[in-house]
Amino acid sequence: MTPHRYAAMLLAVAAVVRPSHAQRAGNGFLFRVPDGTLGVHAGFDRALAGGDIFSFVTDQLTLTRADFSSATLGGNLAIRVTPVMDVAFDVAYAAAERRSEFRDWVDQNDLAIEQTTSFRRVPVTVSVKRYLTPRGRSIGRFAWVPARRATYVGIGAGMMWYRFRQVGDFVDFQTLNVFPDEFQSSAWTPVVHALAGVDVALGRYFVLTGEGRYTWAKGPMGRDYIGFNRIDLSGLSLTAGLSVRL
């Protein structure tokens, strides 16, 4: 075998081996650095349910603070601004609805005094995410290999819409009469949060994300709940999501 033919064979082998090595190291490669990700997520949102309105309804009705926690669904768009930082736009939805009755009161026929209480939250936020480990590496000028996993932390803020609603029968504590009615309070209010998570590469384009997020928010109570302080909308959510690189 001539030296020229031997060198050509080595180059051919290198051309085959190098991409396969990159694929094993980062689950495939892209021909450019991604501009961001678009994804959906789902999980569980544990409502803090603090404050006097939740104390009142859990004392009077057969409800507990855990009844206001629920599943959560959402979507997000993250835009890459530096190799270690993203700006993410996020919307989520959490809704709990529970039937209950008064603990210590019955009607004139000794029947339970029943009602339904619902609690909904919709945060719309912008976050800054800082990656603590590399998300990938460039090979030459035209290839980018994603890391198997990358961890991040972040903070964010925005607005949250909420609705607290009760429909059914209630007791007038002054006259002791039982009456049907509907009480509702809803509004937009500021919200802030802190988050931490991990991205796991699923091939070249897809990313599996696990995230924990703590949210702080309080909202004004409507005229149906005069005398109550601001409602506590804070909570801790744990979610898993699937995103596609853009």
Q: Would you state the structure tokens that stand for residue 144, as one six-digit string?
A: 């980018």
Cβ distance 198 to 152 under 8 Å?
A: yes
What is the reported pLDDT for 139?
81
The answer, as to whether pTM is greater than 0.75, is yes
One pLDDT digit (tens) per residue for the chain, 246 residues = 444 443 343 333 333 334 433 334 344 667 788 999 999 999 999 999 999 999 999 999 999 999 999 999 999 999 999 999 999 999 999 999 999 999 999 988 899 999 999 999 999 999 999 999 999 888 877 788 899 999 999 999 999 999 999 999 999 988 989 999 999 999 999 999 999 999 999 988 999 999 999 999 999 999 999 999 999 999 999 999 999 999
Fold of 8-245: Porin (2.40.160)
DSSP conformation class of 157: E
Give dist(CA 151, CA 77) in Å, integer.
Answer: 18
Strands 231-232 and 218-219: antiparallel
Give dist(CA 218, CA 226) in Å, integer.
Answer: 16
Question: Tell me: the pLDDT tens digits for 187-240?
Answer: 999 999 999 999 999 988 999 999 999 999 999 999 999 999 999 999 999 999
What is the reported pLDDT for 162?
98
Give dist(CA 78, CA 35) in Å, integer.
Answer: 9
- Sign for the CA dihedral angle at 22, 25, 30, 32 comes to negative
Name the residue ranges covered by the structural domains of the chain. 8-245
Q: Would you state the structure tokens that stand for residue 218, as one six-digit string?
A: 């309080």
* Adjacent-strand bridge partners of 37: 78, 245
